[in-house]
Structure 1
Amino acid sequence: MRLKHVVLSVFLLFSLAACMEPTYDSGKLKVIEVTDHDFKINDESAVTLIVGHANVAEYSFSLRKSDLKKGTLLQSVSDSNPNVRADGTFFSEYYVQSKDHDTHASIEIVEIDPVEKVARIAVGAKLVNLKNEDYKELEITLFELTGQNLENLLNKVEI
């Protein structure tokens, strides 16, 4: 009888463990991907930095590769700068910059060091969902790019 209780207890323990969701750091925003496909902004090669939580894309920031120089600061208020693109997706709802709403986007190239194999880029945005006029805002956040993301960022860039 005692063996039966031990076996049942072990079975229940493993069953409960199998039902638990995996843990991850959902609180930390991170770079999910830097695009490596070829696209253009105003007839110039461009790149997109995609950031989010727990490998779920939330914000994307696009800029021309010719603007990838240390110290470059690109800003767009109410979609005023065609060389800066920002958008976001949250629970299947799409958020954008808008000429008719209080929105903004910012991208700053803080550092690009191909020798040390690192880039630091600060981004921020306030975007609007045009269907319901809901806003999402990302305060200026600094991201460090290394590895494949850095390679994709610097692909075909003259530094």
Structure 2
Amino acid sequence: MDAEVISTGLLREAVDAGLLTMHEVKNQISASTARLLHENHRIKNAPIVDLDDENADTLRKFFLIYYDIRAIILELVLKLDAMRHLLHLPQHQKFSLEVMKIYAPLAHAVGARTLSLELEDIAFKSLFPYSYFYVDAWLRCHEKENKSRINVCKDKLL
């Protein structure tokens, strides 16, 4: 991330709280930071009408076509931060569904695979806690077995 994206991420909260205006950001920091902040606000305030698969796919394509990729990545990082503090959010089920349907696939589409995986993992845990713990327990139970298989494959390849 460049300095412009980092400063936009920090300034977003100040602008949301009303401590700064976009005009002040443009005059005191830079026009390009104000433009990126404006792009990020447009993404943040994008109307999410319905979360069926077709609408979610259309919205992801819309983001990829019409927005600065840095603003998209910034929004994804801010969504991840919110997901990490999910229990403190009201209506976290709706938020998790939105992340699972729109933002995790969007992160995958922009090439942020690690970000996508973490968003999916936290959203799945929030939406389906019993299934998540069942799968997690199963994976932990078979962890030693899988590690030995991986080591055998590594030895064959080397």
User: Which TM-score band (shorter chain)?
Assistant: under 0.3
Structure of larger gyration radius: 1
Q: Which structure has the highest helix share of the two?
A: 2
Q: TM-score, normalised by structure 1?
A: 0.24
TM-score by length of 2: 0.24
